[in-house]
Each structure stands twice: as structure tokens, then as C-alpha cells.
């Protein structure tokens, strides 16, 4: 159903897709066991953002289990820049004619 996941402010204002457009559908598809549909909804969220989030969460959980006062894990700057760069690249490519299959 169109619009059931809300709307992206960037897409609404400019017509361009942000790197996270389709991310909620992708997470819902993964939760239902539909990996192919999740990749079609947003490959960046499925292949980059979610694995990184799970890794950070698991690291945090293990640290907190071992030491309740352990600080949250920090994302190395190089990794943060790589994730940001991949997101910008994904957003640009999906808005080009050759990236239509990547669109939300």
C-alpha cells in the first residue's frame, strides 16, 4: 500500500531518494524472512547499516555483560567515513538512470 511507511522529507521536497528510502520496508522484509525483497527495498540498509548496527550492539552487550560500567564501543573514524561514503555513493547512483533497479 503506497505511503504506508510514511514519507521521506528529502524525497518529498526534492524528488531524490536518500540512502535510507526503503529502509523500513527492508527491515520489515527481513523480519518476515524475505531477504530478496529486503535487498530490493534497500540494499544499503541490508548490506551495510544493519550488519554494522548488529555488530556494534553485540559488542556493547558483551562489554556490558562483562563489566556493567564499560563504555559503549566507538566506531573507528575510518569505518564511519567509509559508511558515510558508501551511503552518499548509493544515494547518488540510485537517483541516476542506471541505478533505477536500486530505487525504493
**Overall domain count for the chain:** 1
Q: Does residue 7 form part of some domain?
A: no
Contact 42, 20 (CB under 8 A): yes
Q: pLDDT at position 17, please? A: 77
Q: Pick from 27, 35, 34, 32: which is nearest to 5 by CA?
A: 27
26-74 per-position pLDDT tens digit: 888 899 999 988 888 888 888 899 999 999 999 999 999 999 898 888 8
Domain that holds residue 42: 15-102
Cα separation, 46 vs 23, in Å, equals: 8
In a domain, 5, yes or no: no
Amino acid at each position: 500500500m503506497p505511503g504506508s511507511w510514511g514519507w521521506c522529507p528529502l524525497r518529498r521536497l526534492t524528488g531524490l531518494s536518500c540512502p535510507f528510502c526503503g529502509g523500513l520496508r527492508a527491515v520489515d522484509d527481513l523480519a518476515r524472512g524475505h531477504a530478496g525483497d529486503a535487498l530490493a527495498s534497500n540494499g544499503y540498509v541490508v548490506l551495510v547499516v544493519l550488519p554494522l548496527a548488529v555488530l556494534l550492539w553485540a559488542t556493547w552487550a558483551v562489554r556490558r555483560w562483562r563489566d556493567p560500567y564499560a563504555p559503549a564501543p566507538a566506531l573507528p573514524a575510518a569505518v564511519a567515513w567509509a559508511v558515510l561514503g558508501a551511503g552518499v555513493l548509493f544515494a547518488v547512483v540510485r537517483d541516476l538512470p542506471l541505478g533505477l533497479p536500486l530505487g525504493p
